[in-house]
Amino acid sequence: MRHLPLATLFALSLTPVFPGLPRSAENDQMTRSVHPVIFRTAEESARVAAVTAPPTDFSRPEPFEANPAGAATVRARSDADAFSQPSGNMSFERELDFKLGNGLFKKLWVSSPSSTLASDGLGPLYNARSCQRCHLKDGRGHPPEGPEDDAVSMFLRVSVPAMDHVEVSDIEAFLLSLGDETQRTRPDPVYGGQLQDFGVAGQVAEYRLAVDWDETPVEMTGETATLRRPVWRAEDLGYGPLAPGAMLSPRVAPQMIGLGLLEAIPAADILSREDPSDADGDGISGRAQIVWSFEHDQPMLGRFGWKAGAATVREQSAAAFAGDIGISTPLFPDPWGDCSEAEAACRTAPHGDGDDRGTEIDAQGLDLVTFYSRNLGVPARRDFDTPDVLRGKQMFHEAGCPACHTPKFVTDRMEGQPEQSFQLIWPFTDLLLHDMGEGLADNRPEGRASGREWRTPPLWGIGLTPQVNGHSYYLHDGRARSLLEAVLWHGGEAQAARDRVTRLSPEDRAALIRYLESL
């Protein structure tokens, strides 16, 4: 178990930065106001330690392994709706809110002015007309598959280095107080924080996403694989060149299942795995992302997004409405979304915030989408007890994968969220940032994350991607065409684990992939 860095401990003792951590009565009360939890008893803590301990016997499944989301687990459907079911422990009464949220998640927004006042406000610049258009069937997006395929389920983030004279933000000041030296960035002065490839009538889209692929063979024991390296380009720029030093980062829409359970993992359990200076010498030095929460107006632990740039499901949802669809919310009320002051036509175009809603989606609508997103159920494991999958599980552990892809946590006891409360879950992530090497580097810092760091993505449900989304593209930009390719792209802190996989026999490597497919 890793030790919490001294600087972080000091910060935690002074401010309610990470909900869920025990502290003084005063700070505890402030914490409860943003993330109501009931702290564990000593007896419960002992039970949690026992049930989350690493396995020692790979001849049979562990207790409860079949249910990765605890009581919230849903049956494993055999169709494309496997990721679209409500939490298995949801009451009938709460299912209505889930279905209403689902309707808003699928809703196609239209441009303003429109006679459908409840649905107008799209853009004016945007990446998709609905949440579902990016998170296809609540699953993964994919890169363009050819010249005629658009990039509706992915986009490019953009930022530029911050000048020395630029005012330091609240979160930057906080990170500096912790000794963090990650390069500071700002949105592009014209194109903002991400590039939008669609515009409503009369608006010029910002760009067209293009990519070239360069294939490289990788030798392994007994077989050869081929990796494709992407070169991403922003073509047909609609508002002039990008700023000097602009940094682009491709982002595929991730799957949506289990988000509320990830939000319910105690922050103390995540922070206990931090080891930024690799004090234990295992080569793994995960760091917690720290972000400014616009929802709670304070620094918080980042959990969501490819670089853990959002603290809560509600904030992640609101940010997607603003950046991806151009829809204003109470958290991000600008009706023009990500349009900068330099994009005057976008800012002065008709918007949908002039009616009783106040913003283009109001607080009630945002809450319903958040509830839906928190409660997309994780399907039950398949074939978890077969000999080849159990052998693959042993390979997974012997290769060192659990050092980042932490199999098990127990969630907090939470007021008002019975579906997520005190569940043994198997997400296979530590939610920390890790240096993944030069091969996966986007060279674009985000908050505390460097240009080589990414948050460990959850693995639950990953084997159902072909069934749900009709493809097998993985990683932040969809470059990996199989789970094996995804493993082979690992570098940096994961280099040793990746190399162990290449040295496995073909039979053991196939068993490892079967294990991943069973998750």
| Residue 129 Cα distances to 107, 121, 152, 458, angstroms | 8, 10, 9, 27
Sequence-separated (6 or more) residues with CB below 8 Å from residue 490: 436, 437, 440, 497, 498
The full set of domain ranges for the chain reads 6-518
pLDDT digits (tens, 9 = 90+) for 59-77: 999 999 999 999 999 999 9
> 44: exposed, middle or buried (C-beta count within 10 Å: 0-12, 13-18, 19+)?
middle
| DSSP-assigned letters across all residues of 47-59 | HHHHHTSPP---S
pLDDT band, very low/low/confident/very high, at 36 (cuts 50, 70, 90): low
Is it the case that residue 35 has pLDDT exceeding 60? no
Instruction: Determine the pLDDT at residue 13.
Output: 30
pLDDT digits (tens, 9 = 90+) for 119-163: 999 999 999 999 999 999 999 999 988 767 777 899 999 999 999
In terms of Cα–Cα distance, which of 317, 198, 318, 195 is closest to 251?
A: 195
Predicted structure pTM score: 0.93
Is it the case that residue 23 has pLDDT exceeding 70? no
pLDDT band, very low/low/confident/very high, at 357 (cuts 50, 70, 90): confident
Q: Token pair 């401010």 is at which residue? A: 15
**Integer-rounded Cα radius of gyration of the chain:** 22
